[in-house]
Structure 1
């Protein structure tokens, strides 16, 4: 049983954090489009970024900042323009954005990190950003997390937030998180932004290691459509304001904190997959029996990312052959004579042999998972066993509907 519990407050639930979200005029719709996360004191900062060779200016900016300074106080995120593939001017816009926020907050520019999301090839409307910066800086509060979570959205249907609390060293420790993502979602990372705040005291290198490992078990295990982006960013702060003793590597306290961090990231990752463009249900792939966890995660990712599997789920077709084929092409060696496939409670294949099952009932299981109310009974679970090894892993995705094509066919028009 998890040694933590959910609490309210989202990104500002941990001690020492404030946030804000405003409508700066970056989106033609007039929706909230500029977000700020702020730590009242310098926080240890860690990041995981897209592996794409075409990167947004904010990604290169953050990577360079974190190479020289493993701490920060603020994250500025604009929504509507990716500021990717915008050349030298895009880089200059990013630098000016950090400087403007620093001036308005009274902090060093080196303490500002950046994120952007929106249409690739579009610069940030700097006049609007300049005019909005005093309002944004003046709006931060402990209650500002909800507005900030809305301000980072693009095609998302819902904001994605979480906060968890545990006890370490006799003191309360909290982690808060928020994320956005709905399309162009695939491992390494995905078209997603995720921000995490924590009030534990952790060394810079231990925090970076924790964040990277948590990303591997969450954001790098989620797929919607097989496309990664230019802007994928996970930024995480730890400011030490819980006043716990410093958490040391290979300690029970470190294990507990990392497990809670992973749970936070997995919640956000599943929320992204659940909100996939055009999706009607969440798809969870559980793989066991592989040689190691990395192999199991690879098989799970391949199944979750299969267009044929995703289409079958949308059609409520229990076509287990597509699952077997996806597992077989994952690039992981296993003996097909041990292959077992289960859909919900329906065992479809065992020891490499197809089984008789109630196809109508299995189809109804997937139909029932089709989204009714957000976060309620909307998960299609596929369990796969490939042998007797100790490796296990999970991945998350969604079905592939007609609406996905419609949304992306008209994205810029």
Structure 2
């Protein structure tokens, strides 16, 4: 995995480890541990799919909480659609971690990702947990190994870290995520963990995480497929008086930035993707309308393939805007691609198609600016293009 060029800031109070226990045939890291030195506040946001994996149900039942001590994650096997055995296996994972670090099993959260419908190889998982707990460290390399251990079809690791000074106190935020396919809002096929040493109550942590998820992971799409295992967790190890008021607003803004950065990494790493569509809708009646329009454009296979080919086919984007559902003003609808106006107030604008096509092909992120009226509603959305490689990979995923 590629090492980040910038240093990784690690929040105080956490240790990390990862191991290859044999779940993945490739021999890559497939079991990760994040352990807090003492009980911390934890919150989660989870899949909206009605088919829910056992690990999600367990973690969901244990958050928000002020008594979280660990997160254990396996990759290569989703432990989804595995019936009562899946539940017992997920509970066994949390119980084993709890025994190793000396806490109540309810203080351990669990995540799984990978192929659906296969029972976990618990002998391998058990050995992996034993090995990981022996290797726990608060080093940058251990954090990065833990981030690698949650990946499946991802090409690159996805980590973000930053520091923020609030009222003279410096706090650290470090986050990791996985996801490359089955990506759709609410929340995408993803696992994510945000760690901080800023002091947050459990309920405030839940609010902060929900707000950040709505602005990031709920606004990305690769293929419109919402998973059974989506989990995003936030742990706060900070001591002292909890953030509130303006201090909390500053912290919320920074967490939003971190999650947006991670969400864009998911889209950029979409299976077979060559471009990210950065869609910005303005002029809608309200934010919800703007988000639905952006989501509709992002999900259109015709728009996606146009971006793949560097085709400034404004008709596909404008027509998707019209069928999205929310009321728009066609006479005030305008479109820019890569900052070039190609449609203004309901009529096409002359532009250099060859030059714009070359710009679209050469830029990994293609900006689509869509104005649909004069209202206050606006929303940003990110989606990948659609390539032959995506079709090829997913047609052979389990075979």
Query: TM-score, structure 1 length as denominator?
Result: 0.93
| Separation of aligned partners in 1, 2:37 and 2:123 | 28
Structure 2-normalised TM-score?
0.96
Contact 1:7 1:165 in 2 (8 A): no
Is 1:52 the counterpart of 2:61? The answer is: no
Alignment of 1:380-399 (within 5 A): 380-399=366-385
In 1, Cα distance between equivalents of 2:224 and 2:282? 23
Secondary structure at 1:240 match in 2: coil
Question: Who is 2:37 aligned against?
Answer: 40
Identify the residue that residue 365 of structure 1 maps to in structure 2.
359
**2:263 counterpart residue number:** 269
Return the alpha-carbon distance in structure 2 between the equivalents of residues 324 and 278 of structure 1: 26
Match of 2:387? Answer: 401
| Aligned counterpart, 1:216 | 214
Aligned length: 393
Which residue of structure 2 lines up, in the alignment, with residue 27 of structure 1?
24
Distance 1:213 1:325 in 2: 31
Residue 329 (structure 1) aligned with residue 326 (structure 2): no
1:90-129 to structure 2, matched below 5 A, reads: 90-129=86-125
List structure 1 segments (4+ residues) > 4 angstroms apart after TM superposition: none
Secondary structure of the residue aligned to 1:66 is coil
Note the C-alpha offset of 1:269: 0.2
The C-alpha deviation readout for 1:297-321, integer Å capped at 9, x for no partner, is: 2221221121111011111111011
Cα deviation 1:46-91 (Å, max 9, x = unaligned): 1111100101100111111126x45412111100000000000000
Q: Is the CA contact (8 Å cut-off) linking 1:7 and 1:164 kept in structure 2?
A: no
SS in 2 for 1:389: coil
Structure 2 partner of 1:142: 138
Query: After alignment, is 346-355 or 79-88 more displaced?
Result: 346-355
Query: Are residue 156 (structure 1) and residue 154 (structure 2) matched?
Result: yes
Match of 2:297 among 299, 303, 314: 303
> What is the distance in 2 between the residues matched to 1:165 and 1:295?
34
Alpha-carbon distance, 1:7 to partner: 6.3
In structure 2, what is the equivalent of residue 9 of structure 1?
8
Query: Which digits, 9 at most, give the CA deviation of each residue in 1:205-246, with x for residues without a partner?
Result: 2211111011000000000011111001101111114x5x32
Aligned to 1:62, which of 55, 59, 62? 59
Return 5+ residue gaps in structure 1 as ranges.
Answer: 1-5, 370-377
1:45, 1:238 within 8 Å by CA — same for their partners in 2? yes
Q: Which whole-Å CA distance do the structure 2 matches of 1:150 and 1:103 have between them?
A: 25
Residues 31 and 129 in structure 2, CA contact (< 8 A), matched pair in contact too: no
Q: 2:365 corresponds to which residue?
A: 379
Q: How far is the alpha carbon of 1:122 from its aligned partner? A: 1.3
C-alpha distance in structure 2 between counterparts of 1:295 and 1:17, whole Å: 41
Contact kept? 1:7, 1:163, Cα under 8 Å:
no
Map 1:331-350; keep pairs closer than 5 Å: 331-350=325-344
Shift of 1:331: 2.1
Tell me, in whole angstroms, the C-alpha distance in 2 between the residues paired with 1:42 and 1:302: 43
Give unpaired runs (5+ residues) of structure 2. none
The structural deviation recorded for 1:294 is 2.4
State whether residues 202 and 247 of structure 1, in contact with CA within 8 Å, keep that contact through their aligned partners in structure 2: yes
Q: CA RMSD in A?
A: 1.3
Q: How many angstroms apart in 1 are the aligned matches of 2:286 and 2:201? A: 29
**d(CA) in 2 for partners of 1:332, 1:39:** 46
- Quote the residue 1:318 is aligned against: 312
Q: Distance in 2 between matches of 1:293 and 1:150?
A: 36
CA contact (8 A) 1:186 1:224 kept: yes
CA-to-partner distance for each residue in 1:121-148, whole Å, 9 max, x for gaps? 0122101111222211111111211101
Distance 2:67 2:323 in 1: 42
Whole-Å separation in 2 of the counterparts to 1:330 and 1:261: 30
Q: Provide the C-alpha distance between the structure 1 equivalents of 2:287 and 2:138, rounded to a whole number of angstroms.
A: 39
Determine if contact 1:152/1:180 at 8 Å carries over to the other structure.
yes
How far has the Cα of 1:330 moved from its partner?
2.0
Question: What is residue 127 of structure 2 aligned with on the other side?
Answer: 131
Aligned with 2:376: secondary structure?
strand
